[in-house]
């Protein structure tokens, strides 16, 4: 496998500090990992003796399980920390939580927190590499990597593709990381949603096109990604209700028709069937939503492998 770039010891806060070549290295490695995941015996010994902590201050099922499986398949020891039922509930702050865990000998932290910037804080207190598993609405780089990897696998490259991302852009960390990564890989990204759910200056910050009309967004798109719409935005006065949202921004068979014939339909999950995406689209041949989940494990294995300094040729192949 190609593995020319050394990512040992790196942090992954977001994709802005990763180059195109580095992202491609991650993809190439993920491809190998994906093969391993198809084996009967889904385990390699590369990270034997390494300890990885999943430090989750916010609820998550798929991301945490995906990371845990990834670490276990590389033979690392995994400890799961969730703030529910921990000393955080007794008032322990993040600084002391990290000091405590670090004193037990941790090699890498996987962090999810509702407040942006916390992964960096964990690195500051631990001195150990940190993988951001989602910090508030700021970033979710491993999700973006698996999204991009899924497209890359199907299309060969992201260069020149039109990718439409639809829904609650304002509160989405998935969008932010994808905008940085997809732009870097040469795609043209269009974001689309109600104006009240659009962050300010998104075009200026990310070089993305921003439209409020779904048909414009989807026309000739190579990829369409729906985002989870959360009902509580209604009580926050940001949009009137789910049915109007679904009528205007829900992905149905009919609206998808104006996209390219081989359009890929994606969703970072968890899905609200019948809200941002109708089952007829989610379960269609165009949908790669389930494969995204499969790829998530491979991408996370690749990252752990590269960052914790696995030796490629000898042990993987």
Pick from 106, 118, 218, 302: which binds other proteins (CB under 8 A)? 118
137: contact with other proteins by CB under 8 A: yes
Minimum distance, C-beta of residue 243 to other proteins, in the bound complex (Å)? 26
**Residues 60, 136, 238, 284: which binds other proteins (CB under 8 A)?**
136
Which range, of 115-123, 189-197, 255-263, 268-276, touches other proteins by CB under 8 A? 115-123
Candidates 138, 228, 267, 286: give the one binding other proteins (CB under 8 A).
138
- Rounded least distance, CB 124 to other proteins, Å: 9
Bond prior to 270 in cis (omega within 30° of 0): yes
Among the listed residues 58, 135, 168, 222, the single contact to other proteins using CB under 8 A: 135
In this chain, which stretch among 44-52, 131-139, 225-233, 263-271 interacts with other proteins, using CB under 8 A?
Answer: 131-139
Neighbour tally for 241: CB within 10 Å: 10
User: What φ, ψ does residue 234 adopt, rounded to 5°?
Assistant: -65, -45
Q: Which is nearer to other proteins, 44 or 210 (CB)?
A: 210
Asked if residues 3 and 128 have their Cβ atoms less than 8 Å apart, the reply is no
* Of the candidates 314, 316, 289, 292, the residue with the CA atom closest to the CA atom of residue 304: 316
Nearer to other proteins, 211 or 293 (CB): 211
Residue environment code for 54-67, b if the CB has 16+ CB neighbours within 10 A, otherwise e: bbbbbebeebbebb
- Rounded Cα–Cα distance for residues 167 and 31 (Å): 30
Site string for other proteins, 82-101 (x = CB under 8 A): -----------xxx------
Q: How far is the CB of 82 from other proteins (least distance, A)?
A: 17
Site for other proteins in 174-203 (CB under 8 A): 176, 199-202
Question: In the set 87, 114, 243, 247, which binds other proteins (CB under 8 A)?
Answer: 114
Q: Taking the complex as a whole, how short is the minimal distance between the CB of residue 114 and other proteins, in angstroms? A: 8
Q: Provide the binding-site residues for other proteins, judged by CB under 8 A.
A: 93-95, 113-118, 120-121, 135-139, 173, 176, 199-202, 204-205
């Amino acid at each position: 496998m190609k593995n020319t770039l050394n990512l040992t010891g790196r942090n992954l806060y977001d994709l802005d500090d990763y180059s195109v070549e580095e992202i491609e290295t991650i993809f190439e490695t993920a491809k190998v990992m994906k093969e391993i995941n198809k084996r009967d015996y889904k385990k390699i010994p590369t990270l034997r003796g390494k300890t990885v902590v999943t430090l989750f201050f916010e609820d998550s099922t798929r991301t945490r399980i995906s990371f845990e499986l990834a670490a276990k398949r590389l033979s690392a020891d995994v400890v799961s920390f969730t703030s529910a039922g921990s000393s955080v509930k007794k008032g322990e702050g993040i600084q002391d939580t990290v000091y405590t865990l670090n004193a037990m000998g941790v090699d890498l932290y996987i962090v999810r927190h509702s407040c942006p910037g916390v992964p960096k804080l964990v690195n500051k207190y631990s001195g150990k590499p940190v993988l951001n598993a989602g910090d508030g609405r700021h970033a979710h780089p491993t999700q973006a990597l698996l999204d991009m990897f899924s497209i890359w696998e199907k299309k060969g490259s992201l260069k020149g593709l039109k990718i439409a991302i639809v829904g609650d852009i304002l509160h989405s960390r998935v969008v932010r990381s994808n905008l940085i990564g997809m732009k870097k890989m040469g795609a043209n990204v269009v974001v689309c949603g109600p104006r009240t759910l659009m962050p300010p200056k998104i075009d200026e910050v990310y070089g993305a096109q921003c439209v409020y009309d779904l048909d414009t967004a989807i026309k000739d798109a190579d990829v369409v990604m729906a985002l989870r719409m959360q009902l509580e935005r209604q009580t926050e006065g940001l949009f009137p209700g789910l049915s109007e949202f679904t009528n205007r921004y829900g992905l149905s068979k009919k609206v998808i028709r104006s996209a390219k014939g081989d359009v890929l339909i994606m969703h970072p999950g968890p899905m609200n069937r019948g809200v941002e995406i109708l089952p007829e689209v989610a379960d269609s041949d165009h949908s790669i939503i389930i494969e995204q989940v499969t790829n998530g494990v491979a991408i996370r294995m690749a990252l752990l492998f590269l960052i914790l300094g696995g030796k490629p040729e000898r042990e993987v192949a």
